Amino acid sequence: MSVEQKLYLITRNLQEILGEEELKRIVSERELNVYWGTAITGKPHIAYLVPLMKIKDFVDAGCNVKILFADIHGFLDNLKAPIEKVQHRCAYYEKLIKSALKMLCVDLDRIQFVKGSEFQKSERYTMDLYRILSITSKHDAKKAGAEVVRQVENPMVSSLVYPSMQALDEVHLSVDAQFGGVDQRKIFTYARKYLPLLNYEKRIHLMSPMLPGLNSDKMSSSDDLSKIDLMDSKEAIWRKIRKCFCEEGNKDNGLMMIFSHIVFPILQLKGECVRITDRDGREMAFEKYQEFEEEFVRKSIHPGDLKSNAARLIDEIIRPIREEMEKDLDMVREAYN
Amino acid sequence: MSVEQKLYLITRNLQEILGEEELKRIVSERELNVYWGTAITGKPHIAYLVPLMKIKDFVDAGCNVKILFADIHGFLDNLKAPIEKVQHRCAYYEKLIKSALKMLCVDLDRIQFVKGSEFQKSERYTMDLYRILSITSKHDAKKAGAEVVRQVENPMVSSLVYPSMQALDEVHLSVDAQFGGVDQRKIFTYARKYLPLLNYEKRIHLMSPMLPGLNSDKMSSSDDLSKIDLMDSKEAIWRKIRKCFCEEGNKDNGLMMIFSHIVFPILQLKGECVRITDRDGREMAFEKYQEFEEEFVRKSIHPGDLKSNAARLIDEIIRPIREEMEKDLDMVREAYN
């Protein structure tokens, strides 16, 4: 694969890159080492498929990819995950994310899975943590975490430690780049400023856009779409989709976001087109989201049909994940009951 | 030694004890495990002799005593000690405190000296730190450190981590009790509240009074007495004493504090009395501070004579420490230059 092809795969669908020159330099010389971290908090929902598709891009581009299950971060973030639950949840996340990656046809052997607790208690890491906390003002720490860490009235000290650890993870995972949503931007710029103060090199930062109504609260936060769980049954999916905002001909809604960022890309990578059946049994097939959107805008697709087809397609996509997870329902119960 | 004698030695000259019943229970059953920690920050001054005399009491009462050189705390406290200097300073503190203890006729073999960095980077400690920081609000952490941690306009995150680590030190040093100045009270009560939340037992807290003008800023902070360094020459001591506030017959001054808390107790433990020579060559000898104070209050001792005798007596007391330290001036230079 040419350097250009690799760079195309690595950077497509990103909203922003910090350190692009360094990225080009490394990719032209060797494989990129990149990590994506997920804090072990609540229950991963459908929007998790979006970063996992980027993981596939990284793997396809020959990168050495690490996925960090940030278990300690899960409770440092104002106890989003209870300390005594976090290992069970971590097992759940690991199985879920691996199942999703398999569904996306990603070769798991090409990815290194790491738990935060495997290295964040080491002597070297801990000393680095003491060092970085000694030069990080409360003000900078609060600012860095503002869009990631749960904002509560009486926050815990750990919520100020969270961004510093995410910065150190880049060093201790030995990566060139960190990938995350653009909501991570302030933590990324914090890391870029502070790692050099500890005589570490600043890393490259690859940011995917936030999807309003899916992984961001900026729009239609009252919709239930962002609550579609990767283990949801077809009926559960339908219940969450049924009532969501969807106006005839108006493409600005979470469902269209799901079509553009989840349904189309996933079926595309499987070499399938997206088939829509309306209430009269008529079928339309689309290869590209753009054509589909045009049909919706010109009102050839009714909102009701959009919803029923979305429910069916989402179910088809996530069913393999659900079936995999249902083999171990005890684990699921221990993680969330 | 009877339990009563032990309890007398352990508790004399303390201002406050938290957990006195537990103290009595333990001392009646076995030797008490107690620690005193000193953060490696600036340069230890003459008031350090006061806690070291309590250390002697603990040793004499048969306690298992640990002295913690809190090197990491030294830079966590808003970089009071620069990170790159802290190991040199720690060596200085260790030699100085050991020299002072020898001067106080304490058998060093009866004390275990520990550096914070020896255990504060361990896996168990680090995990406990993550746990306690996850349940400690910023508000509680700030309050706990208010009288100990340097108060600056833009504090570092580490200054909020400081009290939690001091609480965990009690657990990881395996002690029954922590000894410190009453300025530590808020950290001690924090530890008493939070250790049980981690399923650790709360410890006993032994607090010595603050000495205004010596180890507290509450009085005569413009005086230089608190700046008498344990390595000061007689001339340096004199320069710092010469200008301090001392009114004829008024016993409320830092010099009288030095006589009552340092000069008298130390000469007493060496079996000597305190001899004062006035400018006319007349000599007075005192066995007890109370008699000395009465003479001063009734103006039989002139402030000028008080100062010159204080300088001479302090020099006699700390000279063995200075001579020991001067054997290794390279170490001193590396610590503070």
How many Å apart are CA B335 and CA B329, to the nearest integer? Answer: 10
Q: Which residues contact B224 (CB under 8 A, 6 or more apart)?
A: B239, B240, B241, B243, B244
**Paired tokens of B19:** 């957990």
- Is B169 within any annotated ligand binding site? yes
Residue-level pLDDT at A219: 40
Q: Which residues of A touch B141 (CB under 8 A)?
A: 157
SS3 for B20? helix
- Is A184 within any annotated ligand binding site? yes
Residue-level pLDDT at B1: 93
Residues A144-148: what's their mean pLDDT?
Answer: 95
> B114: closest CA among B187, B162, B65, B57?
B65
Residue-level pLDDT at A104: 97
Q: Which fold has domain A224-335?
A: Tyrosyl-Transfer RNA Synthetase (1.10.240)
Residue-level pLDDT at B243: 84
SS3 for A39? strand
Residue-level pLDDT at A117: 98
> A203: closest CA among A22, A13, A67?
A22
* pLDDT at residue A292 is higher than 50: yes
Residues A272-283: what's their mean pLDDT?
Answer: 94
- Whether B126 and A131 lie within 8 Å, measured CB to CB: no
Residue-level pLDDT at A244: 87
Handedness of CA A280, A283, A289, A291 (dihedral sign): negative
* pLDDT at residue B44 is higher than 80: yes
Environment class of A251 (CB within 10 Å of its CB; exposed 0-12, middle 13-18, buried 19+):
middle
pLDDT bucket at A223, cuts 50 / 70 / 90:
low
Q: Where are the domains of chain B?
A: 3-208, 224-335
Q: How many residues does chain B have?
A: 337
Percentage of chain A beyond pLDDT 90 is 90
Q: How far B125 CA sits from the closest chain A CA (Å)?
A: 8
- Is B112 within any annotated ligand binding site? no
Q: Which residues of B touch A187 (CB under 8 A)?
A: none
Residues B94-116: what's their mean pLDDT?
Answer: 97
How many Å apart are CA A205 and CA B27, to the nearest integer? Answer: 59
Dump strand ranges (E) for chain A.
16-18, 33-39, 64-70, 111-115, 177-181, 204-208, 274-277, 283-286
Q: How far B127 CA sits from the closest chain A CA (Å)?
A: 7
Residue-level pLDDT at B222: 52
CATH H-level superfamily of A3-208: HUPs (3.40.50.620)
Gyration radius from chain A CA atoms: 21
pLDDT bucket at B304, cuts 50 / 70 / 90:
very high
DSSP single-letter state for residue B227:
G
Residue-level pLDDT at B220: 42
pLDDT bucket at A218, cuts 50 / 70 / 90:
very low
How many Å apart are CA B171 and CA B200, to the nearest integer? Answer: 7
Residue-level pLDDT at A231: 94
**Paired tokens of A96:** 């879920």
Angle at B179 between CA B173 and CA B180, to 5 degrees: 120
CA A278 to chain centre: 32
Q: Which residues of B touch A131 (CB under 8 A)?
A: 75, 83
Chain B residues at the A interface, defined by Cβ less than 8 Å, are 72, 75-76, 78-79, 83, 117, 120-123, 125-127, 130-131, 133-139, 141, 154-158, 160-161, 164
- Is B87 within any annotated ligand binding site? no
Q: How far A246 CA sits from the closest chain B CA (Å)?
A: 41
DSSP single-letter state for residue A261:
I
How many Cβ atoms from other residues are within 10 Å of residue A257's Cβ?
A: 22
Q: What is the pLDDT of residues B47-69, one digit of tens each?
A: 999 999 999 999 999 999 999 99
ipTM over cut 0.90: yes
Residue-level pLDDT at B221: 46
How many Å apart are CA B140 and CA A296, to the nearest integer? Answer: 55
pLDDT bucket at B337, cuts 50 / 70 / 90:
confident
Residue-level pLDDT at A213: 67
Q: Which residues of B touch A84 (CB under 8 A)?
A: none
- Whether B126 and A121 lie within 8 Å, measured CB to CB: yes
Please, which residues bridge with residue B181 across strands?
B208
Q: Name the one residue in this structure whose structure tokens are 């905002």.
A: A245
Residues A258-278: what's their mean pLDDT?
Answer: 95
How many Å apart are CA A28 and CA A32, to the nearest integer? Answer: 9
Q: Name the one residue in this structure whose structure tokens are 């009269």.
A: A280
Residue-level pLDDT at B215: 63
Q: What is the pLDDT of residues B217-269, one digit of tens each?
A: 544 445 677 789 999 999 999 999 998 888 999 998 889 999 999 999 999 99
**In this structure, are residues A65 and A104 in contact, taking their beta carbons and an 8 Å threshold?**
no
> A198: closest CA among A132, A133, A141?
A132
DSSP string, B286-319: ESSHHHHHHHHHTT-S-HHHHHHHHHHHHHHHHH
- Measured between CB atoms, which of B117, B131, B156 is closest to A135? B156
How many Å apart are CA B189 and CA A251, to the nearest integer? Answer: 59
Question: How far is the CA of A267 from the CAs of A104, A181, A226, in angstroms?
Answer: 9, 22, 20
Residue-level pLDDT at A215: 63
How many Å apart are CA B58 and CA A52, to the nearest integer? Answer: 61
| CB pairs < 8 Å spanning A and B | 96
Percentage of chain B beyond pLDDT 90 is 90
How many Å apart are CA B317 and CA B125, to the nearest integer? Answer: 40
pLDDT bucket at A224, cuts 50 / 70 / 90:
confident
Q: What is the pLDDT of residues A50-80, one digit of tens each?
A: 999 999 999 999 999 999 999 999 999 999 9
Q: What is the pLDDT of residues B205-218, one digit of tens each?
A: 999 998 876 665 54
How many Å apart are CA A230 and CA A155, to the nearest integer? Answer: 30
| φ, ψ dihedrals at A137, nearest 5° | -75, 155
Residues A40-54: what's their mean pLDDT?
Answer: 94
**In this structure, are residues A105 and A271 in contact, taking their beta carbons and an 8 Å threshold?**
no
pLDDT bucket at B183, cuts 50 / 70 / 90:
very high
> B254: closest CA among A153, B192, A246, B262?
B262
Residue-level pLDDT at B62: 98
Residue-level pLDDT at A102: 97
* pLDDT at residue A220 is higher than 60: no
Which helix or strand (DSSP H or E) is residue A265 part of?
helix A264-269
Residues A148-176: what's their mean pLDDT?
Answer: 96
**In this structure, are residues B161 and B126 in contact, taking their beta carbons and an 8 Å threshold?**
no
Q: What is the pLDDT of residues A79-112, one digit of tens each?
A: 999 999 999 999 999 999 999 999 999 999 999 9
How many Å apart are CA A130 and CA A22, to the nearest integer? Answer: 29
- Whether B136 and A155 lie within 8 Å, measured CB to CB: no
- Measured between CB atoms, which of B78, B133, B158 is closest to A158? B133
DSSP 3-state percent helix, strand, coil across chain A (nearest 5): 55, 15, 30
- Measured between CB atoms, which of A130, A159, A161 is closest to B72? A130
pLDDT bucket at A253, cuts 50 / 70 / 90:
confident
Amino acid, single-letter form, for residue A125: Y
Which helix or strand (DSSP H or E) is residue B124 part of?
helix B123-135
* Average pLDDT of every residue of chain B: 94
How many Å apart are CA A190 and CA B195, to the nearest integer? Answer: 32
CA A45 to chain centre: 9
Please, which residues bridge with residue A12 across strands?
none
Residue-level pLDDT at B216: 57
Reading phi first (left if > 0) and then psi (alpha if -120 to 50, else beta), residue B114 is in: beta
